[in-house]
Structure 1
Amino acid sequence: MSEKEIMNEEQTTSQEQDVKQGDLDASQAEAINPKDTITSSVEEKLEIEVKELKDKYLRLYSEFENYRRRTAKERLDLITTASEDLIREILPIIDDFERAFKANEKEEDATKVREGNQLVFYKLIKTLENKGVKVMDDLIGNPFNADTQEAITQIPAPNDELKGKVIDVVEKGYTLGDKVIRYAKVVTGA
């Protein structure tokens, strides 16, 4: 071995002893073991990334909570004011009824009173139809349908053709769009 190699080996051995004893400063320790430096910088980068992701998560969570609260409030407002449009259209019909009642007090001809009441009634039906409410018509003679009708009683059918079919409608049924809002109360034949 040459003299230089021996000195380098002694220096490396003394540095390792100094590291074990903690006598080296940070730059000397990094020069001895660069893997420790790489590991700590990777850890620092990961910690920074975790902090950024946590911040991003908290922001997204708070945005979602705000969105959820806002939509819940909008839904509640919509439910409370959903019938406002219909009520505004029915109010003039109530006014018509009030005028008809006043006119009926002085009127002695029953046909005129009936005609006035029918006009107001048809105006109400027309308003409801414009909103999508439809009367279930032409039920008599058709087969009983449990999806749209409620059988309140069953009587002997006048003929064999009416067995299991609707004989009479006690109370009309109504639909709103495709949804039944009131089932028709019917009498069926047995």
Structure 2
Amino acid sequence: MSDKDIKKEQEQEELQDNTVNAEANGQEEQALNKEEETETAEGTQQEDKTAAELADMKDKYVRLMAEFENFRRRTAKERIELSKTATQDLMGSLLPVLDDMERARQSIETAKDTNAVLEGLELVFHKLQHVTQQKGLKVVEINVGDNFDSDYHEAVTQVPAPSEELKGKIIDVIEKGYTLNEKVIRFAKVIIGA
């Protein structure tokens, strides 16, 4: 064989190799394209599923926020209504006392007997005490010589104690304290011995 024949043969072999390689590359590309299409389809399905879940969660969130806002408004309205009703109930209970005070005032103008006026005022005062006690109002009981308790008392001033045993104790009560259903609504103002 001559050099030309060898060259031709080599060229044909290279051409066959290139053809085989090209076919193999084409098949690989087709396989890769199919894989990419499959991955793309799976990715699209996953994205669609994720988007649907996100939309569902957003819908649930919006509904929950709307429910909470409605709950907040409803409870605020109920609180206002309760406050109005409680005040109305108290005022309704105090109306008879107010009527009695009006009658007492009228009778003071025409009365000649001061003892009768005092008895009438005493009756009205007891009626008022009864109404307030029914609503849960109680006087904080304090006696001279009791220990000072900051939960119920407010020290207005300190004065020299008249005796050694009254040091740090209550000497005088300036203003009574009150509790409403076991909660202090006004502290008793007291003077403490120093």
- What TM-score, normalized by structure 1, do the two folds share? 0.78
1:72 aligns with 2:85: no
Q: Residue 178 of structure 1 is aligned with which of 179, 182, 190?
A: 182
1:143 aligns with 2:143: no
Please identify runs of 4+ aligned residues in structure 1 that moved more than 6 A.
none
How much does 1:81 deviate?
4.3
Local SS of the residue matching 2:118: helix
What amino acid does structure 2 have at the position aligned with 1:83? T
Question: Mapping of 1:152-163 within 5 angstroms?
Answer: 152-163=156-167
Q: Residue 169 of structure 2 is aligned with which of 157, 165, 179?
A: 165
Greater share of helix? 2
Structure 1 unaligned runs (5+)? 1-8, 21-28
- Aligned-pair identity in percent equals 49
CA distance in 2, matches of 1:132, 1:33: 79
Higher Cα Rg: structure 1 or 2? 2
Q: What RMSD in Å do the two structures reach over aligned CA positions?
A: 2.9
How much does 1:15 deviate?
9.9
How much does 1:62 deviate?
1.6
Aligned pair count reads: 174
Q: Deviations over 1:58-91 (max 9, x none)?
A: 1111221222222223323333443221111111
How much does 1:187 deviate?
2.0
CA distance in 2, matches of 1:154, 1:16: 100
How much does 1:120 deviate?
0.5
Q: What residue is the counterpart of 1:101 in the other structure? A: 105
1:44 aligns with 2:48: yes
Q: Deviations over 1:132-165 (max 9, x none)?
A: 1111123322012222112223333222222221
**Does the 8 Å contact 2:147/2:170 carry over to 1?**
yes
Q: Residue 91 of structure 2 is aligned with which of 87, 93, 113?
A: 87
- What TM-score, normalized by structure 2, do the two folds share? 0.76
Structure 2 unaligned runs (5+)? 1-21
Q: What residue is the counterpart of 1:6 in the other structure? A: none
